[in-house]
C-alpha cells in the first residue's frame, strides 16, 4: 500500500499524516514546521481573497437593486418638471448641499423655494446626501417640517432642483433683530417656538430619522408664526443596533458632547442636545456655547455644566480623546449663571438641564419634553398666529426690498409687557 495522500492539489494540508511518514530528525522537523507555516499563510491568503471576492460580488449585486431612497429619488426624477417653468426672484441662502432661491411657479403663481443640489457628479450620479434629503422631504409630512413638493430639472444632467415650500423668516435672523433692538421673547413666545420645534423633532425620531444639523439657521417661521424645520442634507435614517456614523456632523455650537469626543455610536439624543442649545438661545438671544474650535467647544461645555465623569456619563473615560487630553475639572451647577433672563422659571431650567444631560441614554427625549411641567405652567404658549413677527426690523435675506415694505403693513402690532435693565420683553 502506497503512502497516504495528505496533501491536495492546492498544496493544502488536509489532515495530520500518520506516524510512518512523520519526520524523525531535527532538520526534518524544522523543515516540516516551515512548510506547514507556509501552507497556513497560503490558506489564509486564499480564504481572505475568496471572502473579498464574494463580498465584492454581493455589493455589485446589491447595487443592481435600487434602495428605497434611490427608488423614491428616480421615481420623482422621472416625473419632474423643467426649471423653465419657474421664475427666479432672488437668492435666499447657500449651504453645504445646495443654493436656495425664491421663485414663482408660473403655472400657479405660488411662491416657492428652489434648492439647487450641489455635490453632484455626472459619472457617479447624485450624492447620498442629495438623495437622502429628497427622500426625507417626500416621505415626511408634518405641519412643522418644510414640505418637499417635487423635483425640477435643468438643461444639464446634473442640474437638479428640489421644489420646497417657501417659508420667509429664519429664526436666526429673528434672534439677531431682537438682540439689535434690545428686545427679548416673553415666556409664552419661547414656549410657542419650543412646542413646535419639539413636535417636529418628535415626528422625525418616530420615523427613525436623525436630523444631525438642528440650528437656528435651519428653523424657519411663516408669516403666521408656524415653525418649519428645514435643511435635511445631513439627515439619516437609523436602526437597531446603532450604526457607526460620521462624528463631524452638526454645526459646532449645537454639537453634542458625544460627537465632540468621537463616540463610535450616536443616535437621536444628538438632536435633543441641539434643541437644548436652541432653547437657551431663545432665552438669551445669544448662542449658549459659541466655541471657536472643537477643543474650545468642549471646554465651554465643561465650564458651563461641569466636567463629566463615569458616574454621570457611563463610558466617558473610554472615549478616545479623554485618555489623551487632561481636561480642567469644573464643578457642576453653572447653567443657571449662563441664563441672562431673570424671569426664566425653575421648570424651564429643569427642562434645559434635561436636554443638556451628558449621558445620551438619560437625555430628555422630544416626547418627554412636550409633557414637561414647563409647558403647563403659566403663562402657557401662545398660538403661532400670535407670535410677534414684527420684531424683525431688517430684511432676513428671504425677501426682496419691495416685498418687505408690503409685508410690514401686515405685521402684528405688539405692546411691551415689561422693561428691565433696558431690555424689553415682547408680548402681544
Residues with a catalytic annotation lie at: 213
The grid coordinates listed for 33 are 514546521
d(CA 62, CA 56): 10
d(CA 268, CA 360): 9
Residue 344: closest CA among 288, 300, 284: 284
**Neighbour count for residue 6 (Cβ, 10 Å):** 12
Q: What are phi and psi of 399, to 5 degrees?
A: -125, 155
Torsion of CA 130, 135, 141, 146, to 10 degrees: 10
Q: Given strand 183-185, what is the order of strands in its sheet?
A: 183-185, 423-427, 415-420
d(CA 187, CA 283): 8
Amino acid at each position: 500500500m502506497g503512502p497516504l495522500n495528505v496533501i491536495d492539489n492546492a498544496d493544502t494540508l488536509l489532515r495530520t499524516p500518520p506516524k510512518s511518514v512523520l519526520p524523525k530528525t531535527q532538520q526534518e522537523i524544522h523543515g516540516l514546521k516551515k512548510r506547514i507555516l507556509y501552507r497556513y499563510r497560503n490558506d489564509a491568503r486564499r480564504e481572505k481573497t475568496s471572502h473579498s471576492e464574494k463580498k465584492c460580488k454581493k455589493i455589485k449585486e446589491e447595487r443592481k437593486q435600487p434602495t428605497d431612497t434611490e427608488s423614491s429619488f428616480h421615481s420623482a426624477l422621472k416625473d419632474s418638471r423643467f426649471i423653465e417653468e419657474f421664475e427666479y426672484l432672488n437668492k435666499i441662502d447657500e449651504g453645504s448641499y445646495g443654493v436656495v432661491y425664491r421663485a414663482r411657479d408660473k403655472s400657479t403663481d405660488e411662491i416657492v423655494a428652489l434648492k439647487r443640489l450641489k455635490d453632484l457628479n455626472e459619472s457617479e450620479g447624485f450624492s447620498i446626501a442629495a438623495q437622502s434629503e429628497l427622500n426625507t422631504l417626500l416621505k415626511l409630512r408634518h405641519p412643522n417640517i418644510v414640505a418637499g413638493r417635487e423635483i425640477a430639472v435643468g438643461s444639464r444632467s446634473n442640474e437638479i432642483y428640489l421644489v420646497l415650500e417657501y417659508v420667509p423668516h429664519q429664526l436666526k435672523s429673528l434672534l439677531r433683530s431682537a438682540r439689535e433692538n434690545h428686545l427679548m421673547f416673553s415666556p409664552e413666545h419661547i414656549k410657542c417656538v419650543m412646542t413646535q420645534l419639539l413636535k417636529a423633532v418628535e415626528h422625525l425620531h418616530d420615523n427613525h430619522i436623525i436630523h444631525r444639523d438642528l440650528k437656528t439657521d435651519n428653523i424657519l417661521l411663516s408669516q403666521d408664526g408656524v415653525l418649519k424645520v428645514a435643511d435635511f442634507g445631513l439627515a439619516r435614517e437609523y436602526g437597531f443596533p446603532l450604526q457607526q456614523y460620521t462624528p463631524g456632523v452638526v454645526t459646532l455650537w449645537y454639537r453634542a458632547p458625544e460627537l465632540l469626543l468621537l463616540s463610535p455610536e450616536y443616535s437621536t439624543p444628538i438632536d435633543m442636545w441641539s434643541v437644548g442649545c436652541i432653547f437657551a438661545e431663545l432665552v438669551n438671544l445669544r448662542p449658549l456655547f459659541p466655541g471657536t474650535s472643537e477643543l474650545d467647544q468642549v471646554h465651554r461645555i465643561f465650564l458651563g455644566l461641569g466636567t463629566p465623569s463615569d458616574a454621570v456619563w457611563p463610558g466617558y473615560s473610554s472615549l478616545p480623546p479623554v485618555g489623551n487630553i487632561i481636561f480642567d475639572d469644573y464643578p457642576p451647577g453653572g447653567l443657571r449663571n449662563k441664563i441672562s433672563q431673570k424671569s426664566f422659571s425653575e421648570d424651564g431650567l429643569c427642562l434645559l438641564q434635561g436636554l443638556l444631560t451628558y449621558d445620551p441614554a438619560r437625555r430628555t427625549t422630544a416626547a418627554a419634553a412636550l409633557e414637561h411641567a414647563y409647558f403647563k405652567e403659566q403663562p402657557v404658549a401662545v398660538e403661532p398666529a400670535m407670535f410677534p413677527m414684527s420684531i424683525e426690523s431688517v430684511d432676513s435675506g428671504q425677501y426682496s426690498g419691495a416685498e418687505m415694505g408690503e409685508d410690514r403693513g401686515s405685521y402684528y402690532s405688539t405692546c411691551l409687557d415689561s422693561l428691565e435693565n433696558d431690555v424689553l420683553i415682547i408680548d402681544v
